[in-house]
Amino acid sequence: MVKTNKLNVFNDPIYGFIGTPNELIFSLISHPYFQRLRRISQMGLSYLVYPGAHHTRFHHALGSMHLMTKAIQVLKLKDVEITDEEETGLLCAILLHDIGHGPFSHALEGFVAKEISHEQISLRFMMELNNEFNGELDTAISIFKGDYPKPFLNQLVSSQLDMDRLDYLKRDSFYSGVTEGNINSERLISMLNVVDGDLVVEEKAIYAVEKFLMARRFMYWQVYLHKTGLVAEQLLVRIMQRARLLLSAGENLEASKPLLFFLKNNGALSFNKEVLETFAELDDIDIMSALKNWQFHEDFVLSKLCKMILDRKLLHVKVKKRPMTPEKIKEKLDWIIKNHDLSVEEASNFVFQGEISNKAYSKEQAIHILKKSGKISDVLKESDQLSLKALAKKVTKYYSCYPKKAV
């Protein structure tokens, strides 16, 4: 355990200097599990659209922890009881909330490790760290799982107005250069309060909440679900699927040991300590190194898909309110099959469609407004923004991807 905490400060481009509140936090940040987040891209392949979007999960985790320290200070000033143990639990829970992300974050979610989400993997990491730190993460784990007896503590880590969202919207907006996502996190945090054990926002911050929800909608359609980033991530998934298929057929592929382990283990894995340690060795570098090797592979599909991402010569992508007709899809498939002598299965790596959806506000996890009268109300009822009501409706769009010209 580190003896001094005087110089443990990180210089963040958004918030300035971020300190490490105690020795446990510093030790967690120093742990190889957490340091791995320096090699996990926060926004997947979005840098192919927004060149500045090269920030990592490491940045985001520290930023979220910083906002949590501010939220704790605000609530304590308003006489909300938070014990020292609960404070440490909150800081550890938010610091480690994304530690289970795999390479390129959401891009390969559920593929590298089947049937287990990054939240479940985060929990496995936290439990392993809890063993190492002799139970010091018990409270953090309870808060992370959402079953701590004080609901507002759970809500600070996971809700529609949690420290995770307050950081990633501001951070992703900053690094992508998309100003519509820039939110006033300080204003929102300063207006937090607790009523009957639940997190609420004081009425004075209603416009800041409206801006936050609108910013979230803009960021999803303009950045997170941007059609170019979308097609790049779809290609990455198809590269991994093709690699897995070739390996199962006995082909030899050059890749790192951790990546080969997960590609060869096609079924659902029991995430024991050995598998967790292997996962902890996996990051963006393994994937990019594999792509650089595989672009020269004799398999046309694998090499072409890799070159598309590396050279940013992606498929054409259209996003519409209705899916492309089966006739149009068949026409484009037939062209690929004819020109490159591919099977239907192989050609479908270059011609495919799917759907994307976004719901910026969920009534099930309502943001509660504390009115001056002392009454609690849903933000949708209090807002005079007609557009805000529409955010509670799920919007679905359909994308289709195919070559613009010869592959």
User: Residue 27 is encoded by which pair of tokens?
Assistant: 């030790």
- For the stretch 74-126, pLDDT in tens is 999 999 999 999 999 999 999 999 999 999 999 998 887 777 899 999 999 99
- Residue 372, pLDDT score: 92
Q: Could you tell me if 293 and 246 are in contact, meaning their C-beta atoms sit under 8 angstroms apart?
A: no
- Residue 406, pLDDT score: 53
- Residue 265, pLDDT score: 86
- Does the structure show a pLDDT above 70 at 4? no
**Average pLDDT of the residues in 165-184:** 94
In sequence order, which residues have a C-beta less than 8 Å from that of residue 219 and are 6 or more positions away?
169, 172, 173, 178, 180, 181
- Does the structure show a pLDDT above 70 at 175? yes
- Residue 2, pLDDT score: 42
- Give me the percent of the chain exceeding a pLDDT of 90: 83
Would the pTM count as exceeding 0.75?
yes
Question: Looking at 41-45, 133-137, 333-337, 357-361, which range is the least confident one?
Answer: 357-361
- Residue 3, pLDDT score: 47
Mean pLDDT across the chain, nearest whole number? 92
pLDDT band for position 394 (50/70/90)?
Answer: confident
- Residue 284, pLDDT score: 97
Give the integer Cα–Cα distance in Å for 282 and 383: 45
Nearest to 102 by CA among 253, 208, 233: 233
